[in-house]
Amino acid sequence: MRLLHPENIEDLAIGAAVLGTGGGGDPYVGKLMAIQSIREYGPVTLLDLDEIGDDDLIVPSAMMGAPTVMVEKLPSGEEIVKAFQALESFLGKPIKATMSIEAGGLNSTTPFTVAATLGIPMVDADGMGRAFPELQMVTFTIYDIPATPMAIADEKGNSAILNTMSNRWTETFARSLTIDMGSSAMIALYPLTGKQLKAAGVAGTITMAEQIGRAIRESRAADHDPIGTVLRVTNGYRLFEGKIVDVARRTETGFARGDATLEGTGSMAGSTMKISFQNEHLIAIKDGAVCASVPDLITMLDAETGDPITTEGMRYGFRVVVVGMPCDPKWRTPKGLEIVGPRYFGYDIDYVPIEQRYGALTR
């Protein structure tokens, strides 16, 4: 158990964007919301998994929708608290703590608004170990934990409670509502017990994100290589370095979809890389060969500062380094790959763990 203050959130937001693989929402917006809430209501208590009881009720809170929309449609912070309270009222019992549904961008920091405002703790865990674009893409689904009842709310005051027959149907109906709400909404879902979370969750992701962000900050302050620091902290691989020469991006069916094309520089001169994304980076192809694919993490970092670049933040001319990182082992099971493997997203390839692709490749 420890208390998280605004300075913790600064590092956490950067690290969460690294783990977010381009998605999860704008980390800057989430950081501002979390810091404002903590300054107004006090620091948030972060609990380890072993500090929650087996019968405690835990509910993740998050933003749903296209990250590109967040640039113009800023949340007030009231929507997520309203959704959370609506679900608690529906469940008819007190919620012990909230948590992040994914370790990425805005959705790593959004729950701090709920925790600070309502005076409840957060759990140091999430349901992905990274970010994914669809609601059923959590480790909870692997363990047959239902997403509903789920609450959804927007900034206009609209809200709804969903009950569905499967987590895939939750995604379908919630996505339709989110589009009607302006392609972004706030949600509370996957109510689960402490016992379920200990078995099905990805532990330690809040702390991990904070460690990554702190490592980047300290590396820059010491005039060290921030990219190398990220690779050491995450056990990652340097997949590509180059310049963004094209970004084809569109907001479609509630997602930010598209492709980024990079031309190599330095040791990668003469090579090209294409990265396809659906909110998050899904597959990286270098000179026609697959470098990395979901469920492993593919993240784009600024070549000089090491700052993560989100899908909505990619621009022509940016000089970047593409980093690949191994995913949580739960995703490498047959059921995990059925939910988030490359074939689910329409890529006719088998998943190969990034460690097998690169072996002892220099990091």
Confidence of residue 30 (pLDDT cuts 50, 70, 90): confident
Spell out where 49-162 has E strands.
57-65, 97-100, 122-123, 125-126, 150-153, 159-162
User: Which two structure tokens, joined as six digits, stand for 204?
Assistant: 């330690």
Q: What is the pTM of this model?
A: 0.92
User: Which two structure tokens, joined as six digits, stand for 258?
Assistant: 């598209």
pLDDT at 67: 60
| pLDDT tens by residue, 317-338 | 999 999 999 999 999 999 999 9
pLDDT at 68: 59
Confidence of residue 72 (pLDDT cuts 50, 70, 90): low
| pLDDT tens by residue, 176-218 | 999 999 888 999 999 999 999 999 999 999 999 999 999 999 9
Contact between 148 and 189 (Cβ < 8 Å): yes
| pLDDT tens by residue, 93-125 | 999 999 999 998 789 999 999 999 999 999 999
| pLDDT tens by residue, 233-245 | 999 999 999 999 9
Contact between 300 and 23 (Cβ < 8 Å): no
Taking the C-alpha atoms of residue 109 and residue 35, their distance in angstroms, rounded to an integer, is 9
Taking the C-alpha atoms of residue 10 and residue 42, their distance in angstroms, rounded to an integer, is 16
pLDDT at 71: 57
Three-state SS sequence of 112-132? HHHHHHHCCCEECEECCCCCC
- Integer CA distances (angstroms), 98 to 31, 136, 227, in order: 17, 18, 32
pLDDT at residue 362 tops 60: no
pLDDT at residue 26 tops 80: no
pLDDT at 29: 81
pLDDT at residue 363 tops 50: no
pLDDT at residue 5 tops 90: yes
pLDDT at 249: 86
Contact between 100 and 60 (Cβ < 8 Å): yes
Taking the C-alpha atoms of residue 240 and residue 260, their distance in angstroms, rounded to an integer, is 13
Looking at the DSSP bridge assignments, the partners of residue 8 are none
pLDDT at residue 311 tops 90: no
pLDDT at 69: 60
Q: Do domains 2-205 and 229-358 have the same CATH topology?
A: no
The residue to which tokens 């609601």 are assigned: 135
Nearest to 49 by CA among 104, 106, 108, 96: 96
Show me where the domains of the chain are located: 2-205, 229-358
pLDDT at 276: 95
**What 3-state class would DSSP assign to 76?**
coil
pLDDT at 70: 60
pLDDT at residue 258 tops 80: yes
| pLDDT tens by residue, 46-65 | 999 999 999 999 999 998 98
Taking the C-alpha atoms of residue 61 and residue 188, their distance in angstroms, rounded to an integer, is 4
- Integer CA distances (angstroms), 131 to 50, 172, 266, in order: 24, 18, 30
pLDDT at 138: 98
pLDDT at 104: 82
User: Which two structure tokens, joined as six digits, stand for 346?
Assistant: 């329409």
pLDDT at residue 164 tops 60: yes
E strand or H helix that includes residue 363:
none
Signed CA dihedral, 329, 201, 16, 234: sign only:
negative
pLDDT at 24: 72
**Tell me, what amino acid is at 234?**
T
- Integer CA distances (angstroms), 123 to 4, 15, 145, 207, 351, in order: 12, 17, 18, 10, 31
E strand or H helix that includes residue 283:
strand 280-286
CA within 13 Å, CB half, 254: 21
Cβ contacts of 6 within 8 Å, gap of 6 or more:
35, 38, 39
State which CATH number among 2.40.390.10, 3.90.550.10, 3.40.50.300, 3.90.1170.50 fits the domain covering 229-358: 2.40.390.10
Q: What percent of the chain has pLDDT over 90?
A: 82
pLDDT at 267: 92
Q: Which CATH code fits 2-205?
A: 3.40.1610.10
